[in-house]
Amino acid sequence: MSDRLHILITGETGKGRSFLLSRRKLKTSCSILAGLFLSCTVLGYNSFHGFNANTDLTARIATLTDQVNVLTTEIDASTSTNDTLSSQLSDLALQSNQQKETFLLEKQVLLNTAVSELEERSGMIERIMCNIGVEVKDISPPDSSNSGGPYIAPQKDFSTELLYRSNKYLDAIHSVPLGRPIPGGISSRFGHRSDPVNGEKGFHSGIDIRGRSGDTILATAEGVVSKAFWNGGYGKFIEIDHGNGYTTKFAHMRSMTVKRGDKVTRGQKIGTVGNTGRSTGSHLHYEICLHGAPINPSNFMRADRLNNAAGITQLSAQKSKQLKASKLIIAQNKQDVAIPEK
Ligand SMILES: [Zn+2]
> How many angstroms separate the alpha carbon of residue 115 from the centre of ligand 1?
44
Q: What is the mean pLDDT of residues 25-37?
A: 87
> How many angstroms separate the alpha carbon of residue 190 from the centre of ligand 1?
8
Mean pLDDT lowest for which of 59-73, 93-107, 149-163, 270-284?
149-163
Q: What digits encode the pLDDT tens for the residues 96-140?
A: 999 999 899 888 888 888 778 777 777 777 777 777 777 665 444
pLDDT of residue 111: 80
Q: Residue 284's CB: how many other CB atoms inside 10 A? A: 27
Residue 240 has pLDDT above 90, yes or no: yes
Confidence of residue 188 (pLDDT cuts 50, 70, 90): very high
Residue 319 has pLDDT above 70, yes or no: no
298-306 and 309-333 helices cross at what angle (nearest 10)? Answer: 70
**Domain contains 262:** yes
> How many angstroms separate the alpha carbon of residue 304 from the centre of ligand 1?
21
> How many angstroms separate the alpha carbon of residue 133 from the centre of ligand 1?
22
> How many angstroms separate the alpha carbon of residue 245 from the centre of ligand 1?
21
> How many angstroms separate the alpha carbon of residue 206 from the centre of ligand 1?
6
Q: What digits encode the pLDDT tens for the residues 251-284?
A: 999 999 999 999 999 999 999 999 999 888 999 9
> How many angstroms separate the alpha carbon of residue 117 from the centre of ligand 1?
40
> How many angstroms separate the alpha carbon of residue 286 from the centre of ligand 1?
7
Q: Is 326 helix (H, G, I), strand (E, B) or coil?
A: helix
Residue ranges making up the domain that contains 20: 4-69
Is residue 165 within 8 Å of residue 122, measured between CB atoms?
Answer: yes
**Domain contains 130:** no
Residue 311 has pLDDT above 90, yes or no: no
Q: What is the DSSP string of 200-256?
A: -EEEE-SEEEE--TT-EEE-SS-EEEEEEEE-GGG-EEEEEEEETTEEEEEEEEEEE
| b/e per residue 139-164 (b: at least 16 CB within 10 A) | bbeeeeeeeeeeeeeebeeebbebbe
Residue 165 belongs to what H/E stretch? helix 158-175
CA pair distance 139, 245, nearest whole angstrom: 8
**Domain contains 322:** no
Residue 121 belongs to what H/E stretch? helix 23-132
pLDDT of residue 261: 98
Q: What digits encode the pLDDT tens for the residues 214-237?
A: 999 999 999 999 999 999 999 999
> How many angstroms separate the alpha carbon of residue 179 from the centre of ligand 1?
17
CATH of the domain at 259: 2.70.70.10
Confidence of residue 323 (pLDDT cuts 50, 70, 90): low
Mean pLDDT lowest for which of 47-56, 153-162, 197-206, 218-227?
153-162
**Domain contains 76:** no
> How many angstroms separate the alpha carbon of residue 302 from the centre of ligand 1?
18
**Domain contains 27:** yes
> How many angstroms separate the alpha carbon of residue 204 from the centre of ligand 1?
6
Q: 7 or 240: whose pLDDT is higher? A: 240
Best mean pLDDT range from 30-34, 164-168, 204-208, 307-311: 204-208
Number of domains observed in the structure of the chain: 2
Let me know if 189 is exposed, middle or buried by CB neighbors in 10 A (0-12, 13-18, 19+): middle
Q: What is the mean pLDDT of residues 18-29?
A: 80
**Domain contains 245:** yes
Q: Using a cut of 0.85, tell me whether the model's pTM lies above it.
A: no
**Domain contains 279:** yes
> How many angstroms separate the alpha carbon of residue 7 from the centre of ligand 1?
175
> How many angstroms separate the alpha carbon of residue 276 from the centre of ligand 1?
12
Is residue 182 within 8 Å of residue 317, measured between CB atoms?
Answer: no
Q: What is the DSSP string of 35-80?
A: HHHHHHHHHHHHHHHHHHHHHHHHHHHHHHHHHHHHHHHHHHHHHH
Q: Which of 257, 275, 296 is the last residue of a domain?
A: 296
> How many angstroms separate the alpha carbon of residue 285 from the centre of ligand 1?
4
Confidence of residue 20 (pLDDT cuts 50, 70, 90): confident
**Domain contains 220:** yes
> How many angstroms separate the alpha carbon of residue 175 from the centre of ligand 1?
23
> How many angstroms separate the alpha carbon of residue 169 from the centre of ligand 1?
31
